[in-house]
């Protein structure tokens, strides 16, 4: 199953080719206010997720109106049958309605059957569409319990096992029901794996709810999902250490923007915008490709701006940062030395302002 899902990731990157992180004038221009409704419970209430998203937007001069609806202890099935939730949905022509998932219900729907997610998502989708057809429904891919299901009698699933079940079922539900995914749990997975699973790092001491770090990472993922823009460089750090916040911004942005098709996110960019972007940024295919040990990457910059070029492996982990500096207009060349790395399909992403472009590179031994 895991090999199959990795293959889906490769295909998604290949088919989508170039990812453009741009808030298109076709949807919301810079003077409009984007109206966002969060529907959830304690996972959204802890650390005031709505305020975190609001502050990210304020710090990047993006105008939003955001509300949180729900109280601790509620499930999506409760919201699906709630008259107050339906009234809140009908209160405005929301641009986005973001729904909170619960990890254990997504991972094991056949075992935990008292609050079924699938029919709740269908009911909420229908109510959202009935109120405003243009509202984009976003479901937050949940995170696993910090100790997986090992606390449960005769259950051996670890955090990683549980997270893969959540991933598989979220992709399946998204395809069948038709909603966009904010890959929160997948970004958590990337961070925890990179840090070798420190205790109570993104989770609180209850092994379940988000710490401030976890909520900030969630806010960055939702921001990049909604606006299809990188959070890298936003000066708001949510009360956590700047270097940590910068890392979470990068992971959130890369997790979302490198895989829009995988997360069923309809691009906001138009064909005309694509042509304009191509004239501003050009990242050429590396040579040689496939390669052994070393390969060269060339790119062009049309105006003076901050350029960042990063390399990720097939699991989305950043393994190298080749460029991170202000560069003048011109043609550039950088070398990627993969000594010590295993055979894999690596992605090379160039980020310049709100735009990015990604190529795939094949390392063979």
SS3 of 15, please?
helix
* Co-location of 250 and 280 in the same domain: no
* Co-location of 282 and 224 in the same domain: no
* Co-location of 160 and 77 in the same domain: yes
How many C-beta neighbours within 10 Å does residue 193 have?
A: 15
Read off the CATH number of the domain in which 63 is found. Answer: 3.40.50.1110
- Rounded distance, CA 130 to CA 85, Å? 14
The mean pLDDT value for 209-235 works out to 95
Label residue 16 by pLDDT band (50, 70, 90).
very low
Q: How many domains does the chain have?
A: 2
Read off the CATH number of the domain in which 345 is found. Answer: 2.60.40.2550
- Final residue of a structural domain among 257, 288, 308: 257
Domain residue limits at 326:
273-363
pLDDT in tens, 78-108: 999 999 999 999 999 999 999 999 999 999 9
Contact 230, 354 (CB under 8 A): yes
Residue 7 lies in a domain: no
pTM for this predicted structure: 0.73
Residue 352 lies in a domain: yes
> Which of 65-69, 147-151, 323-327 is the least confident region?
323-327
What interhelical angle do 184-194 and 242-257 show, nearest 10?
130
- Any idea which residue has 């390399």 for tokens? 311
Contact 191, 248 (CB under 8 A): yes
* Co-location of 227 and 335 in the same domain: no
Residue 168 lies in a domain: yes
Closest-CA residue to 264 (of 141, 357, 178): 178
What interhelical angle do 49-59 and 212-227 show, nearest 10?
60
Residue 246 lies in a domain: yes
* Co-location of 339 and 211 in the same domain: no
Residue 264 lies in a domain: no
The proportion of the chain whose per-residue pLDDT surpasses 70, expressed as a percent, equals 87
* H or E segment and range at residue 177: none
Residue 192 lies in a domain: yes
Residue 6 lies in a domain: no
At residue 280, the pLDDT reads 60
- Any idea which residue has 């984009």 for tokens? 136
The mean pLDDT value for 158-177 works out to 96
- Final residue of a structural domain among 207, 227, 257: 257
**The token pair that represents 81 in the structure block:** 């049958």
At residue 78, the pLDDT reads 97
Residue 267 lies in a domain: no
pLDDT in tens, 22-60: 333 333 434 489 999 999 999 999 999 999 999 999 999
């Amino acid at each position: 199953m895991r090999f199959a899902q990795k293959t889906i990731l490769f295909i998604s990157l290949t088919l989508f080719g170039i990812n453009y992180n741009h808030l298109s004038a076709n949807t919301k221009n810079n003077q409009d206010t984007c109206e966002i409704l969060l529907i959830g419970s304690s996972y959204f209430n802890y650390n005031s997720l709505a305020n975190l998203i609001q502050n990210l937007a304020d710090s990047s001069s993006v105008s939003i109106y955001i509300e949180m609806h729900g109280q601790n202890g509620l499930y999506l099935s409760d919201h699906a049958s709630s008259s107050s939730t339906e009234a809140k949905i009908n209160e405005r022509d929301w641009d986005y309605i973001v729904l909170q998932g619960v990890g254990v219900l997504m991972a094991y729907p056949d075992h935990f059957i008292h609050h079924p997610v699938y029919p709740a998502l269908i009911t909420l989708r229908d109510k959202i569409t009935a109120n405003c057809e243009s509202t984009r429904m976003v479901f937050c891919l949940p995170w696993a319990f910090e100790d997986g299901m090992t606390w449960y009698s005769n259950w051996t699933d670890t955090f990683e096992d549980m997270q893969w079940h959540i991933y598989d079922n979220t992709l399946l539900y998204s395809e069948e029901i038709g909603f966009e995914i904010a890959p929160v749990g997948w970004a958590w997975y990337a961070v925890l794996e990179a840090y070798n699973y420190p205790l109570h790092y993104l989770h609180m001491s209850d092994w379940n709810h988000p710490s401030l770090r976890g909520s900030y990472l969630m806010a960055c993922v939702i921001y990049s999902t909604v606006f299809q823009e990188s959070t890298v460089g936003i000066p708001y750090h949510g009360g956590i250490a700047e270097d940590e916040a910068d890392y979470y911004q990068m992971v959130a942005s890369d997790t979302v923007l490198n895989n829009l098709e995988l997360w069923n996110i309809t691009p906001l960019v138009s064909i005309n915008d694509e042509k304009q972007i191509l004239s501003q940024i050009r990242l050429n295919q590396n040579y040689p490709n496939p390669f052994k040990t070393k390969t060269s990457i060339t790119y062009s910059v049309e105006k003076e701006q901050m350029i960042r070029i990063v390399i990720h492996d097939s699991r989305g982990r950043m393994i190298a940062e080749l460029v991170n500096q202000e560069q003048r207009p011109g043609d550039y060349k950088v070398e990627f030395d993969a000594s010590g790395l295993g055979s894999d399909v690596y992605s090379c992403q160039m980020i310049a302002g709100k735009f990015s472009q990604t190529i795939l590179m094949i390392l063979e031994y």
